[in-house]
Amino acid sequence: MASWFAHIVLILGIGFVIGPFVYMILTSITTDNFSLPSPQKLLNSEKTLVNYVEAWNKNNFSSYFVNSLFVSSATMILSLSLACTTAYAFARFPFPGKEFLFKLFLFSMFVPAILNIIPQFTIIKSLGLVDTYSGLILVYISTGVVGSTFFLRGFFERIPTELEESIVIDGGNRWTIFRAIYIPLSLPAIGTLGIFAFSGTWDEFILALTLIKTEAQRTLPIALQLFRGQYATYYGLFFAASMMALMPIIAIFVIFQKQFVNPNLSEGSVKG
């Protein structure tokens, strides 16, 4: 009885999560949806991809899509690179005030992101990077690298130091150890953080709207807002644009899904 109840709850939960997604897909492939259509209309209406074609060619959607792809990819790569090296330093290099500096480093995680917008804009403006991808990427990296460093430091500290001995005997240095041991063994953690870094940047709206002024350089979340009219919203077109915006997130998840954190990764690496 308990098993049946658990299955029913699970099915209801899946339906609650998947239902809106299916509704979006069906609405995006039907026409003349200036109001949210009923399920009966969705099932009986003719299916077409005209909304996807129109959305791709409207409101500079394709250009904004490419812009977001560049910004999100660059942020993910640079943020993970900086987080890996910083976490390695905190995990394996002794230096005065390390723990104090690390706690000070983590303090920024407790500051609400909305409070940082004005200071970040002031700094970016003083550097002459307003309305540039460099300034936007720099802010994205600064907001994401702290959490990634905290996560990776704990992962690095669990890797047995005995694995370093063979490389040291062969004359390898710290950089060699980092590349040959820590990066390969940490791929699950790095893959997980890569998904978060890409998706977080891809969906970000406020900073992109604040820092990017040139219309041709705007990112995808801004383009999606253009599909919402002041007095009416064409939901078929809006949902089609939203579905296309989801594709890179789904692709990144599929690529990195096998790299999700395995807590037993380093077990068995050192034989007693």
From 26, 54, 53, select the one nearest 41 (Cα to Cα).
Answer: 26
Tokens of 148: 């990634």
Please say if the pLDDT value at position 263 is more than 60.
Answer: no
Confirm whether 2 is domain-assigned.
no
Q: Which of 194, 191, 76 is nearest to 140 (CA)?
A: 76
- What is the rounded average pLDDT of the residues 160-173? 81
* Burial degree of 78 (CB within 10 A; 0-12, 13-18, 19+): middle
Question: Rounded CA gap, 126 and 207, in Å?
Answer: 16
Decide if 103 is inside a domain: yes
- Residue 268: what pLDDT? 47
**Domain coverage including residue 97:** 60-259
Domain assignment present for 9:
no
124 pLDDT higher than 80: yes
Domain assignment of residue 162, yes or no: yes
- pLDDT tens for 10-50 read 888 888 888 888 888 888 888 766 667 777 777 777 788 89
- Domain membership flag for residue 49: no
Residue 110 binned pLDDT confidence (cut-offs 50, 70, 90): confident
Q: In whole angstroms, what is the distance from residue 180 CA to residue 236 CA?
A: 50
Structure tokens that stand for 24 in this block: 């979006």
H-only helix segments in 171-234: 174-177, 183-185, 187-203, 206-211, 220-225
Answer whether residue 134 is part of any domain. yes
Q: Is 60 helix (H, G, I), strand (E, B) or coil?
A: coil
Does residue 160 form part of some domain? yes
Question: Residue 217 is part of a domain; what is its CATH number?
Answer: 1.10.3720.10
Domain count, the chain: 1
The predicted structure's pLDDT at residue 261:
47
Q: Kindly report, residue by residue over 17-27, the tens digit of the pLDDT.
A: 888 888 888 88
Q: Is residue 172 assigned to a domain? A: yes
pTM of the model: 0.84
pLDDT digits (tens, 9 = 90+) for 230-256: 556 788 888 899 999 999 988 888 877
Q: Are 83 and 148 in contact (CB under 8 A)?
A: yes
